[in-house]
Each structure stands twice: as C-alpha cells, then as structure tokens.
Homo-oligomer: A and B are copies of this chain.
Amino acid sequence: MVPKGKSPDRKRNRVTMKTIAEEAGVTLTTVSRILNNKIDKNTYAAETRDRIISIANRLKYRPNALVLGMQTGQTGIAGVMMPVAGFYGGIIDGIHDVFVNNNTIMLLSWNNRSHNDREEKLERQIIHQMVDRRVQGIILRPSSEDFERSYFEEIWERDIPLILIDRHLSNIDTDFVGTDDIAGGRAAAEYLIGLGHRRFLFVGVGLSASTSRDREEGFRRVLSEYSTAFWKSLYYKPETFEDNLVQILRSSEAPTAIFCYSDALARKSLKCVTQAGFSVPRDLSIIGFGNESMKDGTIALTTFDQFTFLIGQSAAQMYLERINETEKNGVRTRIITPELIIRGTTAPPLR
C-alpha cells in the first residue's frame, strides 16, 4: 500500500529530540517535556528551558506526527472520499473551512474510472489507504447506491466514525448530512403549479439513488393534491433519452414543464428540446437541481441551490464531535433545505 522508491538520503541527518538532547547535554525526556510544555509536576530550570528551546529553534526541529499518531491514535488526519468536481468542490470547501481551524487535515481521494489496479476495487483500496494511515474518521459520499456493505464494515469494525454525505443508503445506519430532497421536489412542484403549469415531466435517474427518488417523490406528492395535474417520469438512459423525451413532448398530453434531477440532466434536456424546435421558457419550462456551474451556458438555468458549503461545514463539525466523544452516541442527521433560484428557464405556460 506504499510505493517503493529508492528513498534517497532524505531519511538521514534529521533533527530529532535526540539530536537536541545530545547538543544540550540532557536526556530525551527532558527535551520532550520542555518542548511539549508538559511541566505539570516537573519544574525545569528556566535556563535549561531556554537553552533547549533555542536549540530546537536553531535546528528547526519539527515533531514527527507519525510517531504521535502511532502512539495515541490522534493523527489529526481525516479521510475524505468524494470528487472535487462541480457540486462536491463546494462541499470540500466547507469541510476544509472547519478543519483548518481545528488542526485537522484531510486525506482526499475518490473513485474514478482511470484506475488500473486489478487487485481490488478502487473504493476498497482507498479505504485501506486511509485506514492504514490511521485517519480518525471518514467523510464519504457513496459513489453508487450499491456501495458495498463490506466497505462500511471495514470502517465500523475499527470504530472509525463515518459520516455519509448527500446520499443515504438503505440498510446503512450512520451519521448523515445532505439535502432535503423531498422538500426540493415539493418546492419545484409548487412553483410550477403557481406559474400555471398543469402537465409535468420528471427526469431522473431511477429509484436506486436516494436523491433522485426523494426529489421525485416530493414533486409527485404535491402534484397528486391537484386533481387537474398530470405527470410522467422519464429515467435517463444514454441511448434512448433524446428519442423518448422528444416523443413525450410530441404526444397529445405533452408536458409544459420539466423538473430534472440535476443540472446536468437539465442541460441535456434543454439541448435536446431546443434542437427539437421548442423554445425555452416560452414553450417549455425547465428546472434543474444543484446550481452547478458550466463553461458555456447561454441561458441561465432555474435550479435549486443545495448550500454545499454548509453541507461540508456540517459534516466536518459532526466529524469533530464524533472523534472527540468518549462514548458512542446515536446516529446524527442534518438535512439542509435547498433553495429555488429562479433564472431564465421557467415561465408561465403559453396557455
């Protein structure tokens, strides 16, 4: 789990407490106690103190946190397992914001496709990398709904606090910070109904992702309160999406508004319907989710902001509480309500 490498002479002539002790003509113990201010019972001669400290400074001594970590388990390292792109960047930003003021630094990695190692799945390897380096806890966003249970077991067995982000998994009971997806779905429906829309399409990714499932559910719940509302769902599949979407829009009961699971899907839909000759928001309203940024947008998307920074901060705070508590407490959850950002892709229906 650790790279080979020749290890040049970078290892030698290091300044350790022993170096300082020898230079000062005292023992290691003395140096240790003085540099750590562990002078509770033992009072050292001011002269000794000053001498040790000035030698340490002159030699630019730096403690070896690995040793400390090995001895006490307090490594000051947190494992964070989620990508940096888009949405997640904001979360990591929030996590960092809390960590930087609490002497904690993150070991960051995530699952991506370009991994070559054939021995084991990348997720497991990353968890091993983190566990082996004795992270004090892990904050992770499950890359897929079928994130293997055995991964969590590796973590639980070692009593490493685990905080899930964004997606909760059925059958996994652990700390969680995420978005109130149901509320988001409801708000989308209420807003569109308020604009006068009555026929809707939900574009999602299916029922296995809790986020998509919940947004759809909230959306439908509100619509079902209106006897005149009609709705349909379409789950994204790369090959068939465009055809299916166009077909639905050309049908007799064509929707006048589309609520999408993500901004990415909203953009795909936007592109597709525009090519099919529809004008947004004149003929069709579209709402995304996530308030993600894009490089070449020419129409500003109506969407939901998820307060990623706050999600990150909350997760990091939960992390700190966990690693500092002596006894095991019940599962903690923090759900943040998303906010509708009305921009250019929504309008009342034509008639």
A126 to B75, CA, bound (A): 15
The 10 closest A-B pairs by CB, nearest first: A293-B293, A65-B132, A2-B76, A297-B297, A296-B300, A11-B73, A293-B295, A66-B66, A66-B70, A5-B324
List chain B residues, Cβ under 8 A from A133: 65-66, 69, 75-77, 105
Q: A2-B76, A85-B93, A294-B295 are in contact. List 17 more A-B contacts (CB 8 A).
A: A2-B75, A3-B102, A3-B320, A11-B72, A63-B132, A65-B134, A66-B66, A70-B70, A77-B133, A83-B93, A84-B89, A96-B112, A101-B114, A105-B130, A293-B294, A297-B298, A298-B344
A153 to B44, CA, bound (A): 32
Judged by a CB distance under 8 angstroms, whether A351 is at the interface is no
Q: Please tell me which stretch of A115-123, A171-179, A185-193, A196-204 contacts chain B, meaning at least 4 of its Cβ atoms lie within 8 angstroms of it.
A: A115-123
- How often does this chain occur in the complex, in copies? 2
Contacts from A to B (Cβ < 8 Å): 1-11, 14, 60, 62-70, 72-77, 83-86, 89, 92-93, 96-97, 99-110, 112, 114-117, 122, 126, 128-134, 136, 154, 157-160, 291-301, 320, 323-327, 343-344
**Residue from A2, A96, A136 with most neighbouring chain B CB atoms (10 Å):** A2
Whether A3 contacts B76 in the complex (CB less than 8 A), given A89-B89, A294-B293, comes out as: yes
